[in-house]
Structure 1
């Protein structure tokens, strides 16, 4: 009779504890626990010397025994392992500021330790462990200092999720002209479910991956961070039999838009020593704990830009969504004037901008208006190091402040390395970066604060291309803050009221609220000048006042797939913003005095007579028992006022 995987892992765990001779005291046991005692990650070996780990919160298992190990071209670290050394537990403190996020100032404490393993050949592999109040993480490290090159053929890392767990996962699309670019729906799945209803053929699941575990007592988000270009971007294998989600590398054929040789493999390759990315497990009792976590940036390298005073978050006008085929100087200038009228700091000149600039000086027009110009570019123009540096210098000399680089469509290691160089070379010219058609951010907005935002999301352009988008958009808008936006700033291109090929069914307020639900260092608003000019005065004022980053955020309602309500503060501005992801009305009651301290009234923007296109604005005294009903697929925005 076959032994089930869960039974095998349980046996492995028990044997592993017995095999850790000399590890019976807390000081030399192979685990690390957060300072508050809640979160813990523990390693174990079975009788074959195979390595496993387990993650617990309050001693409840959130990730049961799951495999670790690396199979390399010259060494095997998947079996025959033994412990050579366990370092003392050390406290590390991560204190830093973010240009873009739910908070500006971060201060988190972690416990960390390193476990050194030897294989049968005597070669070393280190696993670094960290545990903090928001979760745990681990990474592999080869300490050999001999400049030898090593290739990893397979990573054994898995995440074993209990059978009854529910999750929100995005399919990882196979290589194509526009894929992979993390532009699929997050699907509601059960642990171990196969991929169904993906937008494109898919070869796995994306990270971050969200699960509701421990009999729905806890939430976890599985993510990757700290990728410095010496490793491909990773996803999860499609086959998750018995709920074991295993790490998969970028595929060899992810090269449609990047000049890579066809015969190159896509295995991780590096000289030694080699430090690999963190595999992070964010944990919380509520979904809101996941949304507010900064674990991904906590584990990323510190900022490599000494003077960041030139990096300024803001808002941008953008003509493509309303005029995708109009690349004339007139339309670009009109949107520069729109930015000026609404107090936006930036305007984005999309494809075709160079010809328009040659014809009628659209860059000079923006600069004369005090609006910072941003321009679009194709990824292949920024892949070669010398061409990239030359191009960035040319753009900076023109007075351009940021570059939107599109169509990367690959997670291969060469692309991950190129992105690090993009951030660095752009910073040397004091240019900010917006990635489109790209991989998921991995903590890079801490390391390179000039990285302001990225697409990597099924955003509002999908009203042009995806027939299922209108029906699913509201639901997705209440899932993405707990998944995609946790990974990093999100260029969702919000607002977008004009009807497109696939007509919108979310209310106008819902669409407006997404600009304040997602975080993006530069918010690119999508719609026409006519729509903006026709807005009520209160909504126009909101556009002028609305921050692009926040000092403080609280989750009031956090129900992925159903609803999200946030309290947001920046400087003297204080808001509550909410959206309904369901087709049913949602009643709610809030104590506004808790969030509006120092204010006497609040102005609220809700649905107008035509919910799809119109707004209603009213002002009331702050109440302790404010009641409201969120419209189906609707939203609201409260701004506290004197």
Structure 2
């Protein structure tokens, strides 16, 4: 076993090391616990000066001894490190409102500590630590000041997961025509398993990555926060032998059609602050789903005035009419938005010609519907062209933009996103990213980021033969993985049977609109389908919020079932979906959630589970029993009638 010094455990040797390293605060240790003591991260140095960490939850080891360190072009911080300083623990309160989220107002206290090391050349590296009730996080900083650009050749950061753990991981697809885009299945694996049968050739695993550890008693989600233009988006290496998952940078060939350099390594001048490596921890899977640790660690909103940002629902013609770019079809979906009291409509690819010929934007704004339009990433990469185009769109009456085909986690793309959000906000434009990486707390910093794709959504009824059989399971996994990272443009409510026939019930598909969070919910399917819906379902669509004041996890079984309680102002709902092909009994105490209401209205499957809906109203009960249909769902609204 390797010799490891953990200074809290060996005070005599710690004092000797502190004396010779110039340490000023003898007795302080290289660990940090949350205020409640439930979560703790501990750093340690080997005799060779190699840096490691561990994470414990309720005194049980969750992340075993794992490597830290950076190897740069001019300095090495992987060995020969010595301790310089440990800062006092500092509590910091994160209080903020989210335009898009499970809850409206976040109020958390996080414990912070910074630990400074120097390498054999005397160069400094700081590791910032954070703990809170939802998990732990760490990041690297170089505090020195220099005009010289530093390059990180490799990062040693790893996450040691016990081999008997269960995992739900998504392959990170190698660069291709539409990859990487975080549009693969989440596979049930064990640490050490290789990537098997991905949708596209893959070079690693995506984050967020979900694990069940500690004899299935604890859930862990590995993620990132606050990635900006100073670092690429990262994933996990494909090789996880012995359960060690190591950080990997974006690949060199992730260029798609963007003018990116040949260097895929992180580069920056000093001082340099890098993204947070986030480890969300929960006793139940619902703790993971509801965590806001990623946004807690992101920079505060950079918008002085966000009052113009309005979440909402949108009609969207592409899913039902992918080849029809006529003014008539776009206008039809504007009329559909008006009939459903939706605030938005999304004009997808081909809208420019339709607008020239038929004035579709002016017709939408005249009806009080806010148009969002599709765009191609390459046209918005160069700053001056992007700003000019944003001004033109705003002048036309456009209220938001869906920018597609990024297919890259490269540092230059991360930098572009930050500038793009800022430039769009100056013109009061909302943003929807497609063909893209997952958000990393960006919707706190830039509240005009309404949603992003990075999900295997309903368009894959067109493209993926395995999708119908796996969609229900995936739909009960995404709330605990992808949606924790940020708002998700899943494009729900796809009822029409496409190339690969749907197996989920119609209610299941409808319920996904209320399971996922997305600042703009882009509803799939045709006007004919919406017009055929029962009055009760159409009323639900009219009333349904796009964001929430309060959310509770009622049932949380990733890959099997999920039931959420949701509130927005005077509206209260309970919504659930079944991820299995079996009938599943459910028993719930509705009285606990129905304060102020006397009855509940449930929308469930009708005679044809694939296409029809049945609505019934009952008195509130403390022992409601229900049978989830295979791949089914339900939506309850609490009412007084």
Same fold (TM over 0.5): yes
Q: Does 1:197 align with 2:191?
A: no
CA 423–27 in structure 1, closer or farther in 2 if over 3 Å, else same? farther
Question: Could you tell me which residue of structure 2 aligns to residue 570 of structure 1?
Answer: 568
Could you list the per-position Cα deviations for residues 361-407 of structure 1 after superposition, in whole angstroms to 9, with x for gaps in the alignment?
00000000000000000000000000000000000010100000000
CA 386–620 in structure 1, closer or farther in 2 if over 3 Å, else same? same
Alignment check: 8 A CA contact 1:13 1:52 kept: no
Alignment check: 8 A CA contact 2:143 2:271 kept: yes
Q: Distance between the aligned counterparts of 1:370 and 1:208, measured in 2?
A: 38
Q: Distance between the aligned counterparts of 1:461 and 1:528, measured in 2?
A: 14
1:21 Cα deviation (Å)?
Answer: 3.5
Q: Does 1:12 align with 2:9?
A: no
**How many corresponding residue pairs?**
632
Q: Which runs of 5+ in 1 are unaligned?
A: 1-6
Q: Distance between the aligned counterparts of 1:528 and 1:376, measured in 2?
A: 19
Question: Could you tell me which residue of structure 2 aligns to residue 530 of structure 1?
Answer: 528
Aligned 1:31-430 pairs, distance under 5 A: 31-261=31-261, 264-430=262-428
Q: Which runs of 5+ in 2 are unaligned?
A: 19-24
Q: Distance between the aligned counterparts of 2:83 and 2:26, measured in 1?
A: 16
1:104 Cα deviation (Å)?
Answer: 0.5
Aligned 1:472-491 pairs, distance under 5 A: 472-491=470-489
Q: Distance between the aligned counterparts of 1:345 and 1:215, measured in 2?
A: 47
1:229 Cα deviation (Å)?
Answer: 1.3
Q: Distance between the aligned counterparts of 1:310 and 1:332, measured in 2?
A: 25
Give the secondary structure class of the aligned counterpart of 1:224. strand
Question: Could you tell me which residue of structure 2 aligns to residue 4 of structure 1?
Answer: none
Alignment check: 8 A CA contact 1:148 1:271 kept: yes
Question: Could you tell me which residue of structure 2 aligns to residue 21 of structure 1?
Answer: 15
1:52 Cα deviation (Å)?
Answer: 0.2
Question: Could you tell me which residue of structure 1 aligns to residue 544 of structure 2?
Answer: 546
Q: Distance between the aligned counterparts of 1:149 and 1:116, measured in 2?
A: 21
1:546 Cα deviation (Å)?
Answer: 0.2
Q: Distance between the aligned counterparts of 2:592 and 2:26, measured in 1?
A: 43
Alignment check: 8 A CA contact 1:17 1:45 kept: no
1:17 Cα deviation (Å)?
Answer: 5.3
CA RMSD of aligned residues (A): 1.2
Alignment check: 8 A CA contact 1:16 1:45 kept: no
Alignment check: 8 A CA contact 1:220 1:283 kept: yes
Alignment check: 8 A CA contact 1:27 1:89 kept: no
1:256 Cα deviation (Å)?
Answer: 1.6
Give the secondary structure class of the aligned counterpart of 1:236. strand
Q: Distance between the aligned counterparts of 1:334 and 1:58, measured in 2?
A: 57
Match of 2:459 among 458, 461, 485: 461
1:148 Cα deviation (Å)?
Answer: 2.3
Q: Distance between the aligned counterparts of 1:241 and 1:269, measured in 2?
A: 29
Alignment check: 8 A CA contact 1:177 1:257 kept: no
1:146 Cα deviation (Å)?
Answer: 2.1
Alignment check: 8 A CA contact 1:20 1:45 kept: no
TM-score (norm 2): 0.97
Alignment check: 8 A CA contact 1:423 1:433 kept: yes
Q: Distance between the aligned counterparts of 1:390 and 1:17, measured in 2?
A: 60
Could you list the per-position Cα deviations for residues 285-320 of structure 1 after superposition, in whole angstroms to 9, with x for gaps in the alignment?
000000000000000000000100000000000000
Alignment check: 8 A CA contact 2:8 2:28 kept: no
Question: Could you tell me which residue of structure 1 aligns to residue 21 of structure 2?
Answer: none
Q: Distance between the aligned counterparts of 2:419 and 2:456, measured in 1?
A: 26
1:345 Cα deviation (Å)?
Answer: 0.2
Q: Distance between the aligned counterparts of 1:92 and 1:588, measured in 2?
A: 41
Could you list the per-position Cα deviations for residues 332-369 of structure 1 after superposition, in whole angstroms to 9, with x for gaps in the alignment?
00000000000000000000000000001000000000
Give the secondary structure class of the aligned counterpart of 2:389. helix
Q: Distance between the aligned counterparts of 1:120 and 1:532, measured in 2?
A: 68
Q: Distance between the aligned counterparts of 2:440 and 2:16, measured in 1?
A: 37
Could you list the per-position Cα deviations for residues 419-465 of structure 1 after superposition, in whole angstroms to 9, with x for gaps in the alignment?
11110000011101000000110000000000000000000000000
Give the secondary structure class of the aligned counterpart of 1:632. coil
Could you list the per-position Cα deviations for residues 115-146 of structure 1 after superposition, in whole angstroms to 9, with x for gaps in the alignment?
00000000000000000000000000000122
TM-score (norm 1): 0.97
Could you list the per-position Cα deviations for residues 178-222 of structure 1 after superposition, in whole angstroms to 9, with x for gaps in the alignment?
000000000000011110011000000000000000111100000
Give the secondary structure class of the aligned counterpart of 2:146. coil
1:15 Cα deviation (Å)?
Answer: 9.3
Question: Could you tell me which residue of structure 2 aligns to residue 3 of structure 1?
Answer: none
Question: Could you tell me which residue of structure 2 aligns to residue 515 of structure 1?
Answer: 513
Give the secondary structure class of the aligned counterpart of 2:586. strand
Give the secondary structure class of the aligned counterpart of 2:572. strand
1:27 Cα deviation (Å)?
Answer: 5.4
Question: Could you tell me which residue of structure 1 aligns to residue 621 of structure 2?
Answer: 623
Q: Distance between the aligned counterparts of 1:427 and 1:318, measured in 2?
A: 23
Q: Distance between the aligned counterparts of 1:14 and 1:75, measured in 2?
A: 25
Q: Does 1:437 align with 2:431?
A: no
Give the secondary structure class of the aligned counterpart of 2:91. strand
